[in-house]
Amino acid sequence: MTGLLDTVRDRIGEGDLVGALGKLGESRGVLAEVGHAESDGVQGARCFGLLERRWSALRREFGEWVMGLWRRIVVVDEEMGVLVVEGEAGDVPFEEVVRAMDELDVVDTAMGRVHKSLDTAVVGPLLKGGKRVRVETGRLGLVDASKPMDAADFIDDVKTMLTFMVVSLPGPISTPLLERILPVLMLQVVSEWLDPCMPTNLESL
């Protein structure tokens, strides 16, 4: 068990996310077996407790490393008003980082933070008016509108923003993020831009 935990730390040091994740999962299974085998006796319980604390500390270390990779891939600059999505963090692909986040059960926490920052940087200013969405490679931001906006302009900007997120972010990330953002955008479309006599089925967006 101790050797397995050392291997996890070595994989982290080497930047081997897949290897570290696999060995961490393997060590969790071994820890459960040790706990069952050492359930009788004070000495066995003490030994298991030490291993369990070491495993928990290593899992926290792994989680901090994974979240550090995440923050390098998805960057929201609230001051500049942009969302930047990189394809990888160093040599670690985005999809591998997302898989590790899912295994650690931290996707919702990460999404909450991104949603809050994105609302401040992009969504909020867009809803206030006078801004248009601009998309460049891996980058979503706002520019000043060159003319007064109408409903078609706003809906087009919403579609552009949603498309960027769907294309740039893996499904496990884009889906929960859109579930947070869409209700506010749809409310704005219905309440501010659409004529009351128009149907409000906006599924095509």
Lowest mean pLDDT among 102-106, 154-158, 194-198: 194-198
Using pLDDT thresholds of 50, 70 and 90, give the confidence band for residue 197.
very low
pLDDT of residue 42: 47
Strands (E), the chain: 74-77, 82-85, 88-89, 92-93, 131-136, 139-144
3-state secondary structure of 45: helix
pLDDT of residue 160: 93
How big, in percent rounded to 5, are the helix, strand and coil portions of the chain?
70, 10, 20
Residue pLDDT, tens place only, 40-89: 554 556 666 777 788 788 888 888 999 999 999 999 998 889 999 987 78
Q: In this structure, what DSSP letter does residue 84 have?
A: E
Q: What tokens does 72 get? A: 């390098």
pLDDT of residue 48: 66
CB-count exposure of residue 177 (10 Å: 0-12, 13-18, 19+): buried
Q: What CA–CA distances, in Å, run from 191 to 154, 195, 196, 200?
A: 12, 9, 8, 10
Q: How many residues are listed for the chain in this entry?
A: 205
pLDDT, mean over the chain: 81
Q: What tokens does 59 get? A: 């899992």
Task: Please provide residue 91's backbone torsions phi and psi, each rounded to the nearest 5 degrees.
Answer: -100, 10
pLDDT of residue 43: 55
At a CB cut-off of 8 Å and minimum separation 6, what does 189 contact? 151, 154, 155, 158, 202, 205
Using pLDDT thresholds of 50, 70 and 90, give the confidence band for residue 142.
very high
Share of the chain above pLDDT 70, in %: 82
Q: Is the pLDDT of residue 19 over 80?
A: yes
pTM above threshold 0.85:
no
